[in-house]
């Protein structure tokens, strides 16, 4: 069978190795190295100094000093994160806001992607362009624009008051609802694009075949279209959920003082309290919260597909 075909171990030329090395080198330099620095800071203690933590490595002081510095590392900051309820409440609140936003984005994005994939071939480039169009304006400006729309004397309230749908302005800005609106609006293209890609590939005769076998179209949607677009749904949801958890700008600009999100907590810790070690610990834990479930999920998927294979 084709699937049992195993490729012979490839003998790569030096050129091929170089080609593979480039992205790994890039990841090492711009992802792993900075991350290790953050981990190092998270194990340090805050201090009134520049930079505002100890110990700092100074290789000119020799091996002895380096070992002393190493022994000064502690997990104190991580312990602290468990002691103050603020942190786990921030994580929980971030994850729940991100999850709800992802769900809403999916509910809005699926029909858009589906409509695009079903539209006449000649329209598709234009529709695709329209989805990407918002990226041509700065993200910050677009979020600021929402303030103008959502505030008490903003466009939305004026419109609703004019039509007599409400008697007094709705308070939307500086609530969690504004945060949801902001996240859904900002991340919608990230969900629509992968979903559109997987829906466009869907073979229309499969739906005809389902209908021919006695399955009405609405049912065929659930039995054929949704399962076959699952890879697109998963990819799109990850692309929304992951950045939404750590989102800072949207809750800062649109959210209220009671909007608890880890990005904001981290900002306050870093800039207001100048506590680099604790904010680094917050960032490391955030990364683990995101990475561990995704790795587990992908392992699961791998196992499932291997079992089927």
Q: Which residues contact other proteins (rule: CB under 8 A)? A: 1-3, 203, 205-206, 208-216, 219, 223-224, 227-228, 308-309
Helix, strand, coil shares of the chain, percent, nearest 5, are: 75, 0, 25
Find out whether 55 and 69 touch, Cβ atoms under 8 Å.
Answer: yes
Least distance to other proteins, CB of residue 106, Å:
20
Of 164 and 214, which has the nearer Cβ to other proteins?
214
Query: What is the rounded radius of gyration, in angstroms, for the C-alpha atoms of the chain?
Result: 25
Find out whether 191 and 236 touch, Cβ atoms under 8 Å.
Answer: yes
In the block, tokens 């699926």 appear at 110
In the block, tokens 């004026």 appear at 158
Indicate the burial class of 249 (C-beta count within 10 angstroms; 0-12, 13-18, 19 or more): middle
Least distance to other proteins, CB of residue 3, Å:
6
**Phi, psi dihedral angles at 153 (to 5 degrees):** -100, 25
Least distance to other proteins, CB of residue 297, Å:
19
Sign of CA dihedral 298, 304, 305, 306: positive
Of 84 and 208, which has the nearer Cβ to other proteins?
208
Least distance to other proteins, CB of residue 200, Å:
16
Of 161 and 228, which has the nearer Cβ to other proteins?
228
Least distance to other proteins, CB of residue 224, Å:
6
**What would the two tokens of residue 307 be?**
């079992």
Least distance to other proteins, CB of residue 212, Å:
5
Of 209 and 291, which has the nearer Cβ to other proteins?
209
Of 11 and 307, which has the nearer Cβ to other proteins?
307
Of 149 and 228, which has the nearer Cβ to other proteins?
228
CA distance 283 to 287: 6
In the block, tokens 């008490």 appear at 152
């Amino acid at each position: 069978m084709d699937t049992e075909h195993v490729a012979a171990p490839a003998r790569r030329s030096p050129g091929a190795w170089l080609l593979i090395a480039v992205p790994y080198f890039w990841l090492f330099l711009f992802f792993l190295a900075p991350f290790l620095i953050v981990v190092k800071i998270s194990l340090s203690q805050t201090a009134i100094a520049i930079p505002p933590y100890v110990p700092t490595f100074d290789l000119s002081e020799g091996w002895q000093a380096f070992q002393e510095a190493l022994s000064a590392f502690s997990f104190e900051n991580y312990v602290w994160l468990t002691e103050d309820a603020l942190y786990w409440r921030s994580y929980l609140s971030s994850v729940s806001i991100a999850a709800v936003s992802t769900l809403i984005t999916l509910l809005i994005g699926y029909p858009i992607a589906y409509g695009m994939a079903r539209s006449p071939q000649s329209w598709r480039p234009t529709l695709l362009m329209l989805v990407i169009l918002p990226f041509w304006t700065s993200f910050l400006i677009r979020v600021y624009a929402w303030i103008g729309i959502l505030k008490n004397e903003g466009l939305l309230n004026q419109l609703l008051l004019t039509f007599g749908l409400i008697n007094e302005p709705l308070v939307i800005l500086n609530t969690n609802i504004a945060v949801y609106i902001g996240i859904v609006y900002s991340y919608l293209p990230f969900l629509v694009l992968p979903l559109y890609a997987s829906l466009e590939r869907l073979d229309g005769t499969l739906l005809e075949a389902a209908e021919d076998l006695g399955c009405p179209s609405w049912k065929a949607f659930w039995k054929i279209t949704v399962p076959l677009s699952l890879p697109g749904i998963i990819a799109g949801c990850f692309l929304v959920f992951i950045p939404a958890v750590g989102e800072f700008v949207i809750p800062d600009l649109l959210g209220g003082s009671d909007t608890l999100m880890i990005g904001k907590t981290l900002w306050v810790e870093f800039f207001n309290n100048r506590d680099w070690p604790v904010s680094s610990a917050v960032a490391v834990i955030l990364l683990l919260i995101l990475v561990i479930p995704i790795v587990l999920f992908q392992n699961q998927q791998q196992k499932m597909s291997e079992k089927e294979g």
